[in-house]
Amino acid sequence: RIVVSEKAIASAKEQARIEDLRYRAGDNTSTDVINAQAALVRSRSDHSQALFDRHIAIASLRKAMGEIGGSENVPRVKPGIGDEAKAAIPKTEEAR
């Protein structure tokens, strides 16, 4: 998907360049140029989404393999923070 989106960006860049040249020559309208530029922006956005999805997939795989995850990766809270809230929670028989 990433390779496809890279090719789509290259194609959209070329199309935007061509539409700009045609506009300068008087062969099309500014709307045609703007539409080509919008297509380029969409292609770049699709590429960013593909990269993001790849990173999520890699992280999910690493978690499934046990390389990451669990409480060891959770940021620690400074001692004392939230103690009042903990004290307000009634303790069950098991926790006493």
Q: Which domain holds residue 33?
A: 2-66
Q: Count how many domains the chain has.
A: 1
pLDDT digits (tens, 9 = 90+) for 11-60: 999 999 999 999 999 999 999 999 999 999 999 999 999 999 999 999 99
Closest to 67 (Cα-Cα) out of 58, 79, 76, 77:
58
Question: Has residue 71 been placed in a domain?
Answer: no
Q: Is residue 81 part of a domain?
A: no
The pTM is what? Answer: 0.66
Residues 46-61 pLDDT 10s: 999 999 999 999 999 9
**How many residues would you count in the chain?**
96
Answer whether residue 77 is part of any domain. Answer: no
Per the domain annotation, does 84 fall within a domain? no
DSSP string of the chain, one letter each residue: -HHHHHHHHHHHHHHHHHHHHHHHTTSS-HHHHHHHHHHHHHHHHHHHHHHHHHHHHHHHHHHHTTSS-SGGGSPPPPTTTTHHHHHHSPPPTTT-
